[in-house]
Amino acid sequence: MCRTVDLHQAVLARNDENALALRGYLGDRGTVAVNLLSSPGSGKTALLEQLLARAVAAGTPAAAVTADLATENDATRLARSGAPVQQILTDGLCHLEAGMLRRRLEGWLPDGTRLLFVENVGNLVCPASYDLGETLRIALASVTEGEDKPVKYPTAFGLAQLVVITKTDIADAVGFDREAFLRGVEQVNPGVPVLETSARTGEGVDALLTHVLRAADGEEAHVPVLARQHERYLHSHDHGDGPGRHAHAHDGDGHDHGGGQGPASGGDHRHDRAPGTAPARAEARGNAP
């Protein structure tokens, strides 16, 4: 078990080094990265398509990278916005890593890109532990997923700098308990901003884009309490005149690499592969639609 934990920490440590390099690369280009985390079916892709379309219409240079275990379906959808899009296929890996993202961006990210949206693999466990060099980390949950999502996945929601509720147009139909959800968010991440959105009606989409643009303009993002509690993985990201400062942590508790959701805490799901094997070698591939 000790060796497994050591290997897990080695993978995270190497990712942190890659994330630091990626943050510098993006900062030199004047690009702000936004890391979007959610479970499958949250409506993340539909909302991102709306965000990209509005950014393009407003003349804001925006691009997106979307990650999935298989298919380029999401990249095809997002390309309808008119923004440049790339797909990363993870070969079964349940999360993106900073090195994978850097390899996909090099030689592709258009000059002058102000906003880079990164649609992480649909999973609320694995992606929460990996820094992608982002300026803003957003956790999303739909009204169909249940009010207890934040407390069931405290690392994902506890390290978010913004929480977004999706599919609010059907909240009443599915009996969504908004107050219970908000109490759960406050429990794991006191003070984090929460936005309500609907890709179908357009509710909250402009407000979300405005929030992202404020971060791009250097407004300091919310610093989660959980990040302060995990100093071992705490990184202060000072972007100077670019994106605002923020900090977030990586929870050392292990996580499952399976296709489904596992416990975010209290379990013993850890990396069982050494650095240099699948997590570190998984190549980003696929062409832009």
Tens digits of pLDDT across the chain (289 residues): 556 667 678 888 999 999 999 999 999 999 999 999 999 999 999 999 999 999 999 999 999 999 999 999 999 999 999 999 999 999 888 999 999 999 999 999 999 999 999 999 999 999 999 999 999 999 999 999 999 999 999 999 999 999 999 999 999 999 999 999 999 999 999 999 999 999 999 999 999 999 999 999 999 999 999 988 755 344 444 434 443 333 333 333 333 433 333 333 333 333 332 222 222 223 333 333 3
- Write b or e for each residue in 60-88: b if 16 or more Cβ atoms lie within 10 A of its Cβ, otherwise e: bbbbbbbbbeeebebbebbbebebbbbbb
Cα torsion 283, 12, 42, 30: sign:
negative
d(CA 162, CA 253): 22
Measured CA to CA, the distance from residue 97 to residue 199 in angstroms comes to: 28
Size (the chain), residues: 289
Contacts of 132 by beta carbon, 8 Å cutoff, 6+ apart: 19, 22, 33, 35, 96, 97, 98, 101, 118, 120
Are 271 and 4 in contact by the 8 Å Cβ rule? The answer is yes
Tell me the H-state helices in 38-173: 44-57, 73-79, 98-105, 149-152, 154-158
The alpha carbon of 128 is separated from its chain's Cα centroid by a whole number of angstroms, namely 8
Strand, coil or helix: 65 = strand
